[in-house]
Amino acid sequence: MSVHTVITSPPYYGLRMYQGNAPLVWGGSDDCVQQWAHEEFKRRSSDSHPGPLKWAWNSDRATPIEHAACVDCGAWYGVLGNEPPIQQYVENVVQILREVKRVLRDDGTLWPNLGVSYTSSGKGLNAHGKYAGGGNKQATNRGSIDGVQRTSVDLPSKNLKMIPARVAIALQDDGWILRRDTIWCLSGGTQLYAKTQMQEGPTPLKDLARLHPSTVQLWNGERWTQVTAWRRSDSDEPRVELVLRSGERIGCTASHKWPTGRGLLATSDIRVGDVLQSAILPEPADRWRPQYLTDALLWLIGLFLAEGSRSEDTIQLSLGRHELDWLKKIKAAAEDVGNSMTHTLSEGKLDVRLYGRVLNAVLYEYISGKTAKNKHFSPRIWRLPNDALRIVIQGYLYGNGHDDGGNRRNRLGFTRNYALERDLRVMAARLGATLTLNLAMVKMDGRKFPSFRGEWRWSRSGHHNEKDRAEIIEVRRSRGRTFYDVSVADEPHLFSLASGVLTHNSKENPMPESVRDWPTAAPRVHLLVQQVQRFPVLDAPRREGHVPEARTRLPLDRPHRGLGVRA
């Protein structure tokens, strides 16, 4: 019997021992009567101390784990994943997958999932503040039955062991054809412009990843494209942050790809001066402007975001004396919903008070947060059509923007409010405006305060020295800790961030773009290998097949458990 596809996750190197897996004999000579030289590894302590001490190694409670090497033929007796030399682990994995190859169709595929790890002394703390416990990045994995601390390794401390790469090359040498070996990903804090069952609008990737992919679509610059898969990434690639001329900061891995003026580039190949592609974000298909939202009320929503606060049912606006001509428009907005207004003028300051629960309810509907540090648009705002959003932004720019009419721009400055920064970028991408917002520090009364400073332009200046806002001005190390893989269905496999910047499929399809007749979906694996360079037709059936146990020589005088490939 033959099978079309095998998906397997062999034990990661040096990570754990699975309960019930008895040691086996690996490699060596059939004619040798093995003479075993035993080595002792230690079992991880399960101390109940709080904090990082919980992960410390307790030598008094260390349990020896039986491993041995033949002094004559080099055979190794032990459990897969705990081989002392890395190369022996690679050879053992290849040996198992050779048995898979025996039952795989000529046009079949194999998807082995292999983890990455580092070497270290085991004495220090890892990135999560816990003891490394044996020198492997994943040694604190809670699925572990017995964590092992290796007394010696064949690489110096702090080395990435390159296990997936070593296995991939060994499989190529064994006759397999390697078709895919990378996973690309975005930071969990990255904002995407998404259509879900609830709404269309900006949503953090880490929140979208909680939803089933079939319920989410992403904008690709021309149409909505279906998400096919996403997952939290285990990749240990370098984390990179791209800084754009617009001030936007995007966290991703080094191999994540971006459409640029020089073509589709991995982050590691991007250099300062490259320009990312961007798109205008769409109006929602079910856009709706309630009848009570008059132009004056829309304008007031934007003004309140810039200058407003609440005290119980009273809405307060802090304006300047030179803004007296706004009173007529503010009063009209209040009266549109049957509410009232009073104002006080003193020494260059204009205080406006609006009374009424209806007006409060309207502002609660479209503005979230209470202070300058957390006020931003609520998700409801994104259902409005663009002509309504334009009036809202005009109100905001009246309150928080300095009109530099000669240069056709509004200068912006506000306290460090990341939610508002995100929303203004979405507004600019919806309305086709050009926005620049940079991190800044502002001095006040001898102290420095974090803020944003920038400008809003309704149209490009057209100056010959004008730079594209999507131009890369810095590539630096990212502080992001959680990254996610994403894949979408439609070519060219692009989707938009909430700012309109386009990015490429970050969770790669099962086959390269040049191979279009592959009848499988993208599983969550690191490597794709196949037997021969032959591709099935699009209508080839998908079948599930049983994968028999790998054939490995066993010691006759010891109990054992057969080692199979887990699909």
pLDDT digits (tens, 9 = 90+) for 539-564: 333 333 433 343 333 333 333 322 22
Does residue 540 belong to any structural domain of this protein? no
Classify 382 in phi/psi space as left (phi over 0), alpha (psi -120 to 50) or beta.
alpha
Cα–Cα dist 92/23, whole Å: 13
Average pLDDT of the residues in 249-261: 90
Tokens of 528: 């794709």
* 137 pLDDT tier (thresholds 50, 70, 90): very low
Instruction: Please state the domain count of the chain.
Output: 3
Pair (169, 28) in one structural domain: yes
Cα–Cα dist 376/363, whole Å: 11
Does residue 436 belong to any structural domain of this protein? yes
Which residues touch 521 (CB under 8 Å, ≥6 apart)? 228, 229, 510
Pair (257, 167) in one structural domain: no
Q: Indicate the pairing of strand 3-8 with strand 104-112.
A: parallel
Is the pLDDT higher at 482 or at 355? 355
Pair (147, 199) in one structural domain: no
Pair (142, 247) in one structural domain: no
**Sequence-distant contacts of 136-141: CB under 8 A, at least 24 apart:** 136/12, 136/13, 136/14, 136/15, 137/236, 138/12, 138/15, 139/14, 139/15, 139/44, 140/55, 141/15, 141/16
Cα–Cα dist 496/490, whole Å: 13
Residue carrying structure tokens 């002094």: 71
- Other C-beta atoms lying within 10 Å of the C-beta of residue 273: 11
Pair (50, 105) in one structural domain: yes
CA-closest candidate to residue 420, choices 469, 360, 369: 369
Classify 453 in phi/psi space as left (phi over 0), alpha (psi -120 to 50) or beta.
beta
- Other C-beta atoms lying within 10 Å of the C-beta of residue 411: 16
Percent of the chain at pLDDT > 90 equals 43
Give bridge partners of residue 177 from the DSSP assignment. Answer: 530
Give bridge partners of residue 80 from the DSSP assignment. Answer: none
Pair (58, 175) in one structural domain: yes
Burial class from Cβ neighbours inside 10 Å (0-12, 13-18, 19+) for residue 487 reads buried
CA-closest candidate to residue 388, choices 301, 268, 495, 513: 301
Here the CATH number for the domain that contains residue 330 is 3.10.28.10
In whole numbers, what is the pLDDT of the chain averaged over residues?
Answer: 78
CA-closest candidate to residue 439, choices 241, 147, 278: 241
Q: Enter the DSSP assignment of 523.
A: -
Does residue 24 belong to any structural domain of this protein? yes
- Other C-beta atoms lying within 10 Å of the C-beta of residue 560: 14
Pair (61, 107) in one structural domain: yes
Does residue 286 belong to any structural domain of this protein? no
CB 224 within 8 A of CB 218: yes
Cα–Cα dist 40/62, whole Å: 10
CA-closest candidate to residue 199, choices 380, 67, 364, 449: 380
Residue 47 pLDDT exceeds 50: no
- pLDDT tens digits for range 77-127: 888 888 878 888 899 999 999 999 999 988 888 888 787 676 754 433 333
- pLDDT tens digits for range 513-541: 333 343 333 323 346 666 554 433 333 33
Compute the C-alpha angle 357/370/281, nearest 5°. Answer: 95
Residue 456 pLDDT exceeds 80: yes
Does residue 546 belong to any structural domain of this protein? no
Which residues touch 390 (CB under 8 Å, ≥6 apart)? 431
Here the CATH number for the domain that contains residue 235 is 2.170.16.10
Which residues touch 90 (CB under 8 Å, ≥6 apart)? 163, 166, 167, 170
Pair (327, 453) in one structural domain: yes
- pLDDT tens digits for range 166-183: 999 999 999 999 876 545
Which residues touch 514 (CB under 8 Å, ≥6 apart)? none
Which residues touch 153 (CB under 8 Å, ≥6 apart)? 84, 86, 119, 135
Q: How many residues does the chain have?
A: 567
The predicted pLDDT at position 36 comes to: 77
Percent of the chain at pLDDT > 70 equals 73
Does residue 404 belong to any structural domain of this protein? yes
Pair (231, 357) in one structural domain: no
The predicted pLDDT at position 86 comes to: 87
Tokens of 164: 């997936």
Does residue 557 belong to any structural domain of this protein? no
Does residue 312 belong to any structural domain of this protein? yes
Range of the domain at 302: 295-469
Pair (314, 271) in one structural domain: no
Query: pTM of the full predicted structure?
Result: 0.61
Pair (242, 144) in one structural domain: no
Pair (323, 214) in one structural domain: no
Residue 13 pLDDT exceeds 60: yes
Burial class from Cβ neighbours inside 10 Å (0-12, 13-18, 19+) for residue 446 reads exposed
Tokens of 319: 């304006």
Residue 327 pLDDT exceeds 80: yes
CB 182 within 8 A of CB 505: no
Cα–Cα dist 44/58, whole Å: 7
* 506 pLDDT tier (thresholds 50, 70, 90): low
